[in-house]
Structure 1
Amino acid sequence: MNMMNAAQKPHDRLAEALAEDMAAVNLMIRARMASEHAPRIPEVTAHLIEAGGKRLRPMLVLAAARLLGYAGPFHVHLAATVEFIHTATLLHDDVVDESARRRGRPTANLLWDNKSSVLVGDYLFARAFQLMVEPGNLRVLDILANASATIAEGEVLQLTAAQDLGTTEAIYLQVVRGKTAALFSAATESGAEIAGATAAQIKALFDYGDALGIAFQIVDDLLDYGGSAAVIGKNTGDDFRERKLTLPVIKAVAKANPEERVFWVRVIEKGQQDDGDLQHALSLMAKHGAMQAARADALAWAARAQTALDALPAHPLRDMLSDLAAYVVERIN
């Protein structure tokens, strides 16, 4: 891994280049998450929105628009929209997953309750739709409304696919496109659309966001098993304990002999897990090269994201987006 200091990380460089726009986005987020009638809403949203996430999705909107010469002001509305959609899905996810921690802090469902998390998530979705109407661009509405449907669909698909050993890589990809890549690609595509880009430029930025999101999620799934080196750390194996069928496991299951398949049925489908099962799962993944194969997939998607940018004009922001794709997969090198 490059010995980059924190200030040189691509998302930090993006944040620096887009600082003025991001300040406007943060102001808009604060203003729009207010509620005259239900003080619980800003309480819950502030807990999550102020928690110090990287704000990657809104930055992708701003970068796409600015890269193509857009002078404003509606990229700010769209950036706030994607952050609201993202926050709404996090609130709902934590309820569905019964999570207790997010970004190192207690989740909203733990601090308040499931009802508050679900209803405040609904409120943020509604706010997102109000925001996305304001630019008055029907195509942008189309992009963001479709992404919202894809995200919800991906979440429901994950419910049935997560613990089913019949889940293929194609189904996994569909889930990942829903839960992660759809909002990345909607962010970059809507930024290009608001800038009045050509059809080729809009497609290039959609392809970039889609491939970046897929690489991002595969890396996340790999890191849950300690990365490609498969070293057990304190948080290793959360996906295993939750019986989530992610790419490294799907690859190991596809190559499993009958005896190994019995193991996977027991720990994933039946959820009967004993001490030592995680270690055994890791040894089976190592035996079949599942980690390395998943890592190769992540690198290929990151490379695809970088190639998509070739259709765009030379610009410092284009270089930062390319560096971002490389950085996402650098964590597993």
Structure 2
Amino acid sequence: MGLDHAATKPHEKLAAHLANKLDQVNTLIRARMESRHAPRIPEVTAHLVEAGGKRLRPMLTLAAADMCGYGGDFDVHLAATVEFIHTATLLHDDVVDESAQRRGRPAANLLWDNKSSVLVGDYLFSRAFQLMVETGSLRVLDILANASATIAEGEVLQLTASRDLATNEAIYLQIVRGKTAALFSAATEVGGVISGVSEDQVQALYDYGDALGIAFQIVDDLLDYQGQSTATGKNVGDDFRERKLTLPVIKAVAEASEDERAFWTRTIEKGQQRDGDLDHALELLERHDALGRTRQDANVWADKAKSSLNRLADHPVRQMLLDLTDFVIARVS
């Protein structure tokens, strides 16, 4: 069952459980995205922040802190930090990818311009670092600063590797760990750190976020070839048109015949795409069961995420996170 047709949505159940904290996060986000001198900043930020995103990453921070018994207010600061970092990367990504759509709406760089998107993204990164500092924890600052650097590193690696047919699954995993999983794992890890739990528990939270983030990105890459634009907020086939060598294509290329490899070279490496090429790409993915095997990989990472949670004490939020993991995979089941 797909994400938008499931009867019970674990992220909504988690949001209801964390409703008071999420309200505080949203209030803090709105306050910190204001600018006295540049009204375009809140305009561009609000376009994304208010676009109906599920707030999954900040929810992971709040959930980790709640599960660890945290009783303070800095989980709200860190959840807002995580959302600012995420929003900043989305603004930058849409410029790099020349995307036309984000969360079912026109991308900010189309409504305004590339300069605005880049500069507002920079502003949000700065706001994020201000929020980190307010926690007074050098370890939290180290974790989130490292995550920010890792995200940028992953994006740059993707620029050089995603159109090179020599890119293998190990490089793909490195890219995914950078561009997606780094913020998931940081979000869960800092929730444990501010709660003062044991290093084993902090590591379990990190491992959960890391594995969930990888599964999430693999599923996202699958949806690009088999999802529906209205459900995903993306245009189906965008990765192919943008010449991104994601896991399904990597698997197909690894088993390609000479003619098939010539097709991938022309369309991905050289960017010489013609009418009907997306349909042919889908035929090749089907021929090598690339989508099915990619789905299996997503399930493996989801199982790793759940195993990590099982290293933590029983808690109502733990079950919600287990359900959330299954739900991520259900998007392509």
Relative to structure 1, is the Cα distance of residues 29 and 241 closer, same or farther in structure 2, using a 3 angstrom cutoff?
same
Distance across 2 between alignment mates of 1:268 and 1:112: 29
The structural deviation recorded for 1:206 is 0.4
Q: Show the counterpart of 1:231.
A: none
Say whether 1:240 aligns with 2:245. Answer: no
The structural deviation recorded for 1:5 is 6.9
Say whether 1:173 aligns with 2:189. Answer: no
Distance across 2 between alignment mates of 1:180 and 1:59: 15
The structural deviation recorded for 1:278 is 1.7
- The answer (yes or no) to whether the contact 2:163–2:243 under 8 Å persists in 1 is yes
Q: Alpha-carbon deviations, 1:44-84, whole Å to 9, x = none?
A: 11111111100000000000000000011100000000000
Q: Show the counterpart of 1:27.
A: 27
Distance across 1 between alignment mates of 2:283 and 2:7: 37
Q: Show the counterpart of 1:311.
A: 311
Structure 2 stretches lacking a partner, 5+ long: 228-233
Q: Alpha-carbon deviations, 1:185-238, whole Å to 9, x = none?
A: 0000011101111111001010000000100110111111116xxxxxx94322
TM-score with structure 1 setting the length? 0.95
Distance across 2 between alignment mates of 1:7 and 1:80: 29
Higher mean C-alpha displacement, 117-126 vs 3-12 = 3-12
Q: Show the counterpart of 1:112.
A: 112
- The answer (yes or no) to whether the contact 2:99–2:107 under 8 Å persists in 1 is yes
The structural deviation recorded for 1:37 is 1.7
The structural deviation recorded for 1:43 is 1.3
Q: Show the counterpart of 1:14.
A: 14
Distance across 2 between alignment mates of 1:102 and 1:125: 19
Distance across 2 between alignment mates of 1:263 and 1:31: 51
The structural deviation recorded for 1:285 is 1.5
Distance across 1 between alignment mates of 2:47 and 2:283: 40
Note the 1:74-153 alignment, pairs <5 A.
Answer: 74-153=74-153
Say whether 1:275 aligns with 2:275. Answer: yes
Q: Alpha-carbon deviations, 1:92-120, whole Å to 9, x = none?
A: 11111111221121221111111111111
Distance across 2 between alignment mates of 1:293 and 1:10: 26
Distance across 2 between alignment mates of 1:108 and 1:222: 25
- The answer (yes or no) to whether the contact 1:184–1:210 under 8 Å persists in 2 is yes
- The answer (yes or no) to whether the contact 1:302–1:325 under 8 Å persists in 2 is yes
Higher mean C-alpha displacement, 189-198 vs 98-107 = 98-107
SS in 1 for 2:226: coil
Q: Show the counterpart of 1:65.
A: 65
- The answer (yes or no) to whether the contact 2:2–2:332 under 8 Å persists in 1 is no
Letter of the 1:143 counterpart: I
Q: Show the counterpart of 1:286.
A: 286
The structural deviation recorded for 1:178 is 1.1
Q: Show the counterpart of 2:163.
A: 163
Q: Runs ≥4 in structure 1, deviation > 2 angstroms?
A: 1-8
SS in 1 for 2:313: coil
The structural deviation recorded for 1:7 is 7.0
SS in 1 for 2:72: coil
Q: Show the counterpart of 1:54.
A: 54
Distance across 1 between alignment mates of 2:308 and 2:148: 23
Distance across 1 between alignment mates of 2:178 and 2:4: 32
Aligned length: 327
- The answer (yes or no) to whether the contact 1:7–1:13 under 8 Å persists in 2 is no
SS in 2 for 1:224: helix
Distance across 2 between alignment mates of 1:181 and 1:2: 22
SS in 2 for 1:69: coil
Q: Alpha-carbon deviations, 1:138-177, whole Å to 9, x = none?
A: 1111110000000000111111111110111011111111
C-alpha RMSD of the superposition:
1.5
The structural deviation recorded for 1:326 is 0.5
Q: Show the counterpart of 1:230.
A: none
SS in 1 for 2:244: coil
Letter of the 1:190 counterpart: V
Q: Show the counterpart of 1:256.
A: 256
The structural deviation recorded for 1:6 is 6.2
SS in 1 for 2:221: helix
- The answer (yes or no) to whether the contact 2:243–2:268 under 8 Å persists in 1 is yes
Identity of aligned residues (%): 73
- The answer (yes or no) to whether the contact 2:181–2:214 under 8 Å persists in 1 is yes
Distance across 2 between alignment mates of 1:267 and 1:111: 29
Distance across 1 between alignment mates of 2:292 and 2:5: 27
Distance across 2 between alignment mates of 1:176 and 1:250: 14
Higher mean C-alpha displacement, 214-223 vs 98-107 = 98-107
The structural deviation recorded for 1:251 is 0.3
Note the 1:39-50 alignment, pairs <5 A.
Answer: 39-50=39-50
- The answer (yes or no) to whether the contact 1:10–1:324 under 8 Å persists in 2 is yes
The structural deviation recorded for 1:287 is 1.7
SS in 2 for 1:209: helix
- The answer (yes or no) to whether the contact 1:6–1:12 under 8 Å persists in 2 is no
